[in-house]
Amino acid sequence: MSYLVIPKSIQTYNQGKNKNIDIYVFTYIKLCSNFNTGISNITEKTLSKLTDIPLGTVENIISRLKKDDSLLKIETKQMNETIRKNIYKFEINPDHHFYIDTQFFYSDLPLEIRGFLLLLKSIASNNTNTILTKSGKNNKVNISDIARKLNQDRDKVTKLLKQSIALNQLKEIDNGFIIMNEHILLSVKETAENLAYKVISDFCNSKGIVPPVRNNDILTIICTKYDLFGYLSDSIEDERNLCYQIYKRCKNVPKTVNLEYFLKSLCNIDLPKKDHTKQNFDFIQL
């Protein structure tokens, strides 16, 4: 699998009125950069051809991106009297980021929806594809909260959310949305903990429940019982197959769920409750 690292700071971009398309183009330029140096020399003409965006529109987008050097640095060199060249420099290892499978760029989704999904991912809860909002009117999803975080007009965000749901890219839940696009990744390393968390997240998504906050200590315990890599499971219904057992054992899932619930259901283990009444006097010097 080939993947791309996207900085979560894309949510702060606030140039012009076509933020979703701008961010998609930003991401596409990054796709065409050297992963070791973070530098791209793609021409505006080539970018127009690859994205199927008119050249004039691409030029305007580059002009807007150039005004926000928090995302990337753009240096324009005049090669001769008629030819100029842009050099794009990206941060290689941004502190806060997420991953997308590069197949994301070859889907048949409208470009504005692609950019919108990337921006939604940038405000999703860490290590999830879940966007949670403050309680809205009549306990509905607070779209104004999402629009504020994305620096976009509420009516436009409402329209794009509806389109994304219609295209099976989003699922609405009680207090937010879950991104369903398979190319917007939870993780890229095939560790047992990552695979276990994906199984649990996919299970929650299928039930319309917000996936729990990640806890690697609990995931490690679950991984000691289940064969996440398929080395030991003889069949799909094997007792060591987590994908099978989670549907078998987790029948009555609460709407608000945590990893402790899955630890109990899948491994019959209760974590010891913390004693909040016990005081720690270690800091007192006598």
State pLDDT tens for residues 84-137.
889 999 998 888 999 999 999 999 999 999 999 999 999 998 878 989 887 766
- Cα gap 147→68, rounded to integer Å: 20
The domain ranges of the chain are 3-90, 108-185, 192-267
Could you check whether 3-90 and 108-185 share the same CATH topology? yes
Q: Which amino acid is located at 54 in the chain?
A: P
Q: Give me the chain's average pLDDT, please.
A: 88
Residue-level pLDDT at 233: 57
Beta strands in the chain (DSSP E): 3-7, 39-40, 72-78, 84-90, 97-101, 130-132, 170-173, 176-179, 184-185
* pTM, full prediction: 0.80
Class for the domain spanning 3-90: mainly alpha
Average of per-residue pLDDT across 230-241: 68
Local confidence band at 284 (pLDDT 50, 70, 90 cut-offs): very low
C-alpha gyration radius of the chain? 23
- Cα gap 113→20, rounded to integer Å: 7
Q: In the structure encoding, which two tokens stand for residue 72, read together? A: 């990337």
> Would the pLDDT of 66 be above 90?
yes
- Give percent of the chain above pLDDT 70: 91
| Architecture category of domain 108-185 in CATH | Orthogonal Bundle (1.10)
Residue-level pLDDT at 282: 45
Q: Which of 149, 125, 141 is nearest to 204 (CA)?
A: 125
